[in-house]
Amino acid sequence: MVPWLAVGLILAMWLAEVGLAELNRRHVVAHAGAVPEAFRNTIDDASYAKSVQYTLAKSRFSQVEDSYGTAVLLLVLFSGLLPWGLGLFRTRFGDSVWSMAGFLFATGVALSLTGQPLEWFAQFKLEERFGFNSSAQGTWWLDRLKGLLLAAALGYPLLALILGLVRWTGGLWWLWAWGALLVFQLLMTLLVPVLILPLFNTFTPLPEGSLRDRLLDLAQRTAFRARSIQVMDSSRRSRHSNAFFTGFGRFRKIVLFDTLIQQLTEPELEAVLAHEIGHFKKGHIPKRLFVSMITSFAGLGLVSVLAQQTWFYRAFGFEPGSIVPALLLFGLLADVATFWLSPLAHWLSRRHEYQADAYAADAMNEPGSLIAALRKLNENNLGNLTPHPVYSAFYHSHPALLERERALQRSAGR
């Protein structure tokens, strides 16, 4: 019964994905005739029509992605490829920690390669069609090579460490593995801004001038310490825009996409930065880290239980006796469970966005600059102005534009 149950759960998720996409498509089409009343004075008909086309094109593509991913997952789980691959690795390389970590890493790389054609299409066909792609073919492929090398340098040793902890610490291995993951995650928060991000993008200090003075004044006003304000050359790859801060302590830095600077006025940029500072001031980063810690704790605990179940191994063609199949199968099947929890995760994320918006309005002493920035970002990024609420619950970590505006106006007492 276990294989049939797994198939049923996988197909249930796929049907939900396809159904949600269709629900959202119909909702968008139903509102496609005219610009929503709340935005008729700020968004022209041509821009709105293009945003609808972009939303529908992404929806069609996501259904192809979901169907393709489901087919690949079913094939991998029930074709016998995984037990065969594990046996091949053991025959050729033995069953040492490094060999078994190599099997897990190689499997992950092979599965990621199956999705490369669709990723390429999304970048160079879909995004290109709507004017967002600015990446050269060489840059795109080089990014993937760098990602693979980073995964080999960081992920492969981490897998070996976890497998080693299984052998060295006995039944409580999952607690030790959880601790190792926490240390690794905290280490990455320090390494990413200093060593990893510069491998993909060029960061230059924001030039002296009125914008820099305005942003530094905001940081001083809100007691937000940052090592620097830097501009990232995101336009090399995409015309989408964003801003963020990264790192901890003296390594923290504020990053603005160069596309963002081109699209917004100085007060609007200040409001966007105030929003990002709001995330820091409201403690959203440690809260999200805490949720991640609890999730990994529960996940590793579940793996430790499944690793002791003979039926779990044999349902997918493996023989009991090694933790490797349990880790692999859990990784492949985790989305089947977490998909249904995504509304809860997105509810928390949207709650954080509302709080950061309110903080920004308070720091600016008015909500107008942030509202204007959000409208421009939505228009420039062809955001969906009319998502279906149920679809948003499953897929959107940020509230829809109209919801954010209403919340900002309420927080400002207007």
Active site residues: 276, 357
Q: Are 353 and 399 in contact (CB under 8 A)?
A: yes
Residues for the chain: how many in total? Answer: 414
Looking up tokens 């099947």 gives: 333
- Which contacts (CB < 8 Å, 24+ apart) does range 302-306 have? 302/330, 303/174, 303/327, 303/330, 304/171, 304/173, 304/174, 306/330
Retrieve residue 208's tokens.
Answer: 């002296």
Strands 229-232 vs 203-205: parallel, antiparallel or unpaired = antiparallel
Closest alpha carbon to 355 in 408, 300, 392: 408
As a whole number of angstroms, the distance between CA 236 and CA 50 comes to 23
Up-side HSE of residue 181: CA atoms within 13 Å toward CB?
20
Give 194's DSSP letter. I
Amino acid at site 166: V
Closest alpha carbon to 74 in 121, 14, 127, 118: 14
Up-side HSE of residue 272: CA atoms within 13 Å toward CB?
25
